[in-house]
Amino acid sequence: MSITHLLEDFGGGSAVEAPDPGLSEEAVEEQRLVSFEKGYSAGWEDAISAKDQESTRISATLASSLEDLNFTYHEAQAQLIESLDPMFKVLTSSVLPDAMSATFGHHIVDQLTDMARFQTDQAMQIVVSPSESHAVRALVAENISVPVKVQEDDTLAEGQAYLRVGASERELNSSALLESIHGSIDAFTYHVREDSQYG
């Protein structure tokens, strides 16, 4: 008894095509080259297309990440300004005025010394409010060896002074300086809030 019915037949279904006797070997080689070129070009185009898609995906991901980072930066900046705002207000309403008031006389002496550096033979005069004249006279006597006239002016507020050395004059105005600092801080916090709100 034969067992051929149990074994698979591999030779029956596929017939090998005989080469066309009408084509020369050169024509067959030409067809192979054309087929290779077509396959190579198709592969190259697929690779370029895949690279372009990957570049587009990476660019979109990067743009999204930068947008998130930018938003996070503005959000963090706005939160920082919000937390610093009370400190700025205390600084401009209490700390700076007290510090400027305590050092105003020394500031006058420094400015007058600077003005008189090249004019030591000229008359020197300080005009201040009546409430500050005594302290200024005492500081001038301690720190400047040449005569300085300290004059009171009722129209001047505390923290204001006019200095004259010969023909040159300077105005010191602590209140205006404090207002300028306060205005700068308010403008800065306003712009940061606007930027964080509207980008």
Domain-wise residue ranges, the chain: 60-198
- Amino acid letter for position 161: A
pLDDT at 182 (0 to 100): 84
Bridge partners (DSSP) of residue 128 are 152, 161
Cα–Cα distance measured from residue 109 to residue 124, given in angstroms and rounded to the nearest whole number? 11
- Tell me how long the chain is: 199
pLDDT at 84 (0 to 100): 83
- DSSP H or E stretch at residue 81: helix 25-90
Strand order in the sheet with 168-173: 148-152, 124-128, 160-165, 168-173
What is the residue-level pLDDT of the chain in tens, covering all 199 positions? 677 777 777 765 555 455 555 678 888 888 888 888 888 888 888 888 888 888 888 888 888 877 776 667 777 777 788 888 888 888 888 888 888 888 888 888 898 888 888 777 788 999 999 999 898 999 988 888 888 899 999 999 888 999 999 888 999 998 888 888 888 888 888 887 777 666 5
